[in-house]
């Protein structure tokens, strides 16, 4: 597949401060220092796409209207930093949910690669020259399955949510800012698979 490179970003705990099932727009607070490297990635023509598991919908904690309001808030926060998102994709499913139509095993919930593959189709992305950035092992595994390079935002060595990835991430750092700065340097050096 030919297309433009992208950085695919998990939302909670990666792009925004960690919160357990945030349900209001005001719950979303950008992680420190993400604006500058994201703006620089935009300037290089790298697409920025959020791919987020949102099992709170399947669990009945919030509905589509609330989630859309949170997505709007995230877009506004990033726009205020001069950052343009190409898109936001979410998975509302969880097999242990209480909302019957969302309580399913799906192909989009990370570690499955469905959201990343859909992002590639919708936005003309080349996943082989893209990065998946997240704070859980399920993010790394989704990126690996989709054919992306992967980066993990986590300081400790504790296991993350989901089964362990089949391989380690290409890069790991304690902050999203540091991960994004590494990826920015990778793109500026002209590295491609």
Whether 12 sits among the annotated catalytic residues: the reply is: yes
Whether residue 91 is annotated as binding a ligand: the answer is yes
Given the residues 12, 90, 126, 139, select the one marked as catalytic: 12
Whether residue 148 is annotated as binding a ligand: the answer is no
Whether 96 sits among the annotated catalytic residues: the reply is: no
Given the residues 10, 90, 137, 139, select the one marked as catalytic: 10
> Which of 160, 145, 161, 185 lies closest to 8, judged by CA?
145
Sheet with 131-134: strands ordered across: 87-91, 47-53, 6-9, 131-134, 149-153, 171-173
Whether residue 10 is annotated as binding a ligand: the answer is yes
Whether residue 106 is annotated as binding a ligand: the answer is yes
Q: Which residues pair with 51 in a beta bridge?
A: 89
Whether residue 96 is annotated as binding a ligand: the answer is no
Burial 78-100 (b: 16+ CB within 10 A, else e): beeeebebbbbbbbbbbeebebe
Residue list for the binding site for Zn(2+): 91, 93, 106, 108
Residue list for the binding site for Mg(2+): 10, 12, 135
Residue list for the binding site: 10, 12, 91, 93, 106, 108, 135
Which residues does the annotation mark as catalytic? 10, 12
């Amino acid at each position: 597949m030919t297309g433009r490179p992208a950085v695919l970003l998990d939302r909670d705990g990666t792009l925004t401060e960690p919160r357990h099932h945030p349900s209001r727009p005001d719950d979303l607070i950008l992680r420190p220092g993400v604006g500058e490297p994201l703006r620089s990635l935009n300037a290089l023509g790298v697409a920025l796409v959020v791919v987020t598991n949102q099992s709170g919908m399947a669990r009945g904690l919030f509905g589509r209207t609330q989630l859309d309001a949170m997505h709007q808030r995230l877009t506004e926060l990033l726009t205020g930093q001069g950052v343009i998102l190409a898109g936001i994709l979410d998975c509302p499913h969880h097999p242990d949910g209480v909302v019957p139509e969302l309580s399913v095993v799906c192909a989009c919930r990370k570690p499955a690669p469905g959201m990343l593959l859909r992002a590639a189709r919708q936005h003309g992305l080349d996943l082989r020259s893209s990065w998946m950035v997240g704070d859980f092992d399920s993010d790394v595994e989704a990126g690996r399955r989709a054919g992306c390079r992967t980066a993990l935002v986590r300081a400790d060595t504790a296991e993350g949510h989901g089964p362990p990835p089949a391989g380690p991430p290409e890069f790991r750092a304690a902050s999203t800012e540091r991960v994004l700065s590494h990826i920015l340097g990778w793109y500026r050096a002209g590295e491609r698979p």
